Amino acid sequence: MTMSSDSAKSQLPELKYDANGLIPAIVQDDATNEILMLGYMNARSLELTLEKRLVTFWSRSRQEYWTKGETSGNVLELVDIRKDCDVDALLVRAVPHGPTCHTGNRSCFYRDLHDV
């Protein structure tokens, strides 16, 4: 289900956030369906994402909002957001403008489990 900005805002209370007020957000390339990254959103970062049309997360380590690519220029342009069947996770479909991973890789999921 694709959500417009207005309809998404009206559904925000329905989402199941964790005890810290966060919900996992999986980012997927809208053109290729490749999974690019996982981030966490709270209600405000979700609202900011819908308003700016740029994917914005809550940084658990820095305790602040961050829009992906705000320093590198490699933004994630929002296409739509879907909720899962349990309404406790989001799928964010986006157009990446450059690599998504801070390492310079296209996706954060570039290593096999055995490479760890």
Query: At 56, phi and psi to the nearest 5?
Result: -125, 135
Span 15-68, pLDDT tens digits? 999 999 999 999 999 999 999 999 999 999 999 999 999 999 999 999 999 999
Confidence bin at 6 (pLDDT 50/70/90): low
- Judged against a pLDDT cut of 70, whether residue 5 lies above it is answered with no
- Judged against a pLDDT cut of 50, whether residue 1 lies above it is answered with no
Q: Three-class SS of residue 33?
A: coil
Mean pLDDT, the chain, whole residue set: 91
Burial class (CB in 10 A: 0-12, 13-18, 19+), 94: buried
Six-digit token string for 68:
């992906």
Model confidence, pTM:
0.87
